Each structure stands twice: as C-alpha cells, then as structure tokens.
Amino acid sequence: MKKFVNDPANFVREMMEGVVLANANKLKWIPQYNIIYRADMPNDNKVSIIQGSGSGHEPAHIMLVGQGMLGAACPGNVFAAPPMEYVYECTKLMNSKKGVLHLINNYQGDRMVFDMAREMAEADGIKIGTVIINDDVAVEASTHSVGRRGVAGNFFVIKACGAAAEQGASLEELVKLGNSVNSVVRTMGMALTSCTPPAKGTPIFKIGDDEMEMGIGIHGEPGRRRAKMAPADAIIDELFEAVASDLPFKKGDRVGLMINGMGGTPFSELYLLYRKAALNCKDRGFEVVRNYVGNYCTSLEMAGFSLTLIRLDNKLERLLDAPAEIPIRVF
C-alpha cells in the first residue's frame, strides 16, 4: 500500500491531530469522539453548524471548520459514517440558544446516525434543523444511498449557511437557505483510478489501464458507465451535458463553476479541465461569475474530478463572498 500511514487504525486520529497542531489557537478537539471544533463556538448569538460523514474526503469536513464555515465536524473512519454517539456528543457540545444545524450528505449511514442523534438531542431540549444535500446527478440511487448522493455541492451549502449563521440568521432561515442552495447545485464526477482505504490495504475497485468510470461516487460506488479513456475535452463534454441539462441551467444564468479534484489530480490537469468547462459555459450562454478549482471533496488519493454548476443570484453571491476561514492555508 503506497500511502503515508503508521498504524492504519490511527489514520484518522493522526490526521486530525495534525490539523489541530497546525491551528492551535483556533481549533480544539475531542479525540474520543473525533470532534474538531471552533475554539470560539458555541455562541448563543449564532446557530452552530455541524457535519460528520466518513473521513477520506478532506478537506471536507474537518478542514472546513472555521469562521463562516462549520462550527464543528465529527467524522467517522475512512468512508464510514461516524458512530451515533459522535454526532450526539458533537451536537451537545455545539448547543446554542439559536440551535444547531445538521448538514448531511445523502448516504444511508450518515442519515441514520444523524436521525438518531437528533432524536436524542431534541429529548435533551436542543433545537435542531436538518438539511440534506443530494447534488450528484449521476445515479438516482446507489449502493450507499436511497435517492441522489451528496458530493461536492456540499461546499456551497456549508459556505452559504456558514456566512448567514455568522450574520445571525435563525435556524429556520438556515434550513430554508440550505435547501434552496441544494436545489440549484448539480454535480457529476468521474475517476481514472481507484483508491485504497488504509485499513483495507487494497483498492476499493478494479479498473483497467485504459478505462475510466463515469459518474463515480465519492466512495468508489459505480457510476453510469465504465468507458475507454477519452480526451479531457470529451470527458468534460459528457459531465457538462449531464449536469447542465439536469436543473436545467438556461442561457443567461449566472453560475458558479467548480472543478473539484478527487485527491490525486494535480492543479495542472484541473485547470486544463476548467478551460473546456468554462468554454462550454460560454457556448451555452451561462455567465461564470465565480469559479472554484481545487480539492474540495476528495476520495483519498483517487485520480479523478467532479464538475459542479450552481445557479447564482445576488443574495447567494454575497454569501459566497463573505469572509470565511478554514484550517488550510495556501500562503
């Protein structure tokens, strides 16, 4: 297994410790429950936003904890939902008079533990709102989900709700906002290679040297089709058509365009892909007013990417532009 790891059983804990060591003044953590949280939260003047899904998608979700983003995250093991008690403890820790917002990507495991934790926390008198993210147009249901999966579009829900929460929005307003953002964002991904969870030690699926998986899920779930390798522009065309025709996006729409790396795809290739996606937007009459190229929701070291389009308006653009801070620095 070609990975940087010590004991695979400590992979998530040691990664989290690294994040906390790199952000000693801003983040705290509770190793027992895999919780990383803002040192200045909870705050009774703000709704606390939490997320807890499988690890292996970094920077989602533990590296998105910060001002104007998540208040806390409580990941499970690689590609595994967190135990219910992690979510329950995280919810109690982040309890605020204004409430706690659960942002959940649509996977059965995640939904189940968040449902149970919500019931228990509500019995404790905590006010909870829930937003389900399901932006992946690839398949209508898959091995891990009933209904569409939540993938890179999650970033926009976090960013918009995080900004609004910082400005004092109520829990009800945030639920409405989160659902509204989710309703205008669409994504589809693909992969050239598989990836290897540390504790498994072998790739989660096999793929030929001349093959790619179109519509893949972020845990390697099958997509729409296995295909022979194709030029970058042809790959973009297929994902773009699937995403653009789904909402559908229309001529004159102001959009955000994201090319999200799956973890093993270098910046050079992501920008080469962005080029064709931006040209396609021009051809269709979509005005790209915000762009995002980088690693937002990954699958360990997988070589691949997803393409996301989001329909923007003045209100949403202001929220996406609001100050925010995450534990990852570029310079």
Catalytically active residues, by annotation: 57, 219
- What tokens were used for 326? 């995450």
Residues that bind a copy of itself (CB under 8 A): 2-6, 11, 14-19, 21-22, 55-56, 58-59, 63-64, 69, 155, 159, 192-193, 209, 229, 231-233, 235, 263-275, 278-279, 291-296, 298, 300-301, 303, 305, 324, 326, 328-331
Shortest Å distance, C-beta 149 to a copy of itself: 20
Q: Work out how close the CB of 15 gets to a copy of itself at its nearest, in angstroms, rounded to a whole number.
A: 5
Measured between alpha carbons, how far is 325 from 158 in angstroms, rounded to an integer?
12
Residue 171, helix vs strand vs coil: helix
Cβ-based nearer residue to a copy of itself, 13 or 224:
13
Q: Which is nearer to a copy of itself, 12 or 81 (CB)?
A: 12
Q: In whole angstroms, how close is the CB of 260 to a copy of itself at the nearest point?
A: 12
Based on CB atoms, which residue is closest to a copy of itself, 36 or 126?
A: 36
Phi, psi torsion values for 89, nearest 5 degrees: -65, -40
Which tokens go with 128?
A: 């909870």
Residues facing residue 100 across a β-bridge: 48, 128
The least distance separating a copy of itself from the CB of residue 95, rounded to whole angstroms, comes to 26
In the chain, where do the E strands start and end?
Answer: 27-30, 35-38, 48-51, 72-73, 100-105, 128-133, 185-191, 211-214, 225-228, 254-261, 287-294, 304-311
CA distance 41 to 216: 36
Name the residue nearer to a copy of itself (CB basis): 72 or 239: 239
What pairs with residue 133 in β-bridges? 105
Angle of CA points 193, 107, 204, to nearest 5°:
25
Beta bridge partner(s), residue 48: 100
Smallest distance from a copy of itself to CB 61, Å? 12
Instruction: Judge contact between 89 and 68, C-beta under 8 A.
Output: no
Residue given tokens 């790619």 in the structure block: 212
Name which of 80 and 235 has its Cβ closer to a copy of itself: 235
Q: Which is nearer to a copy of itself, 129 or 304 (CB)?
A: 304
CA dist 135 and 121 (Å) reads: 28
- What is the smallest separation between the CB atom of 24 and a copy of itself, expressed in angstroms? 9
